Amino acid sequence: ELKVEQNPLFLSMQEGKNYTIYCNYSTTSDRLYWYRQDPGKSLESLFVLLSNGAVKQEGRLMASLDTKARLSTLHITAAVHDLSATYFCAVDVNSGYALNFGKGTSLLVTP
Partner 1 sequence: SQTIHQWPATLVQPVGSPLSLECTVEGTSNPNLYWYRQAAGRGLQLLFYSVGIGQISSEVPQNLSASRPQDRQFILSSKKLLLSDSGFYLCAWSVSEVKLFFGSGTQLSVL
Specify the DSSP class assigned to residue 3: -
Reference 27, options 66, 89, 73, 70; nearest CA is 70
Distance of CA 26 to the CA centre of its chain: 16
Which of residues 94 and 110 has its CB atom nearest to partner 1 in the complex?
A: 94
- Note whether 100 binds partner 1 by CB under 8 A: yes
- Asked if 92 is part of the footprint of partner 1 (rule: CB under 8 A), the reply reads yes
Of 1, 68, 82, 96, the one binding partner 1 (CB under 8 A) is: 96
Decide if residue 103 touches partner 1 (CB under 8 A).
Answer: yes
- Is residue 78 a contact residue for partner 1 (CB under 8 A)? no
| CA neighbours closer than 13 Å in the CB half-sphere of residue 41 | 11
Could you say whether residue 39 binds partner 1 (CB under 8 A)?
Answer: no
Ranges within 7-26 binding partner 1 (CB under 8 A): none
Pick the closest to residue 47 from 55, 39, 6 (CA basis). Answer: 55
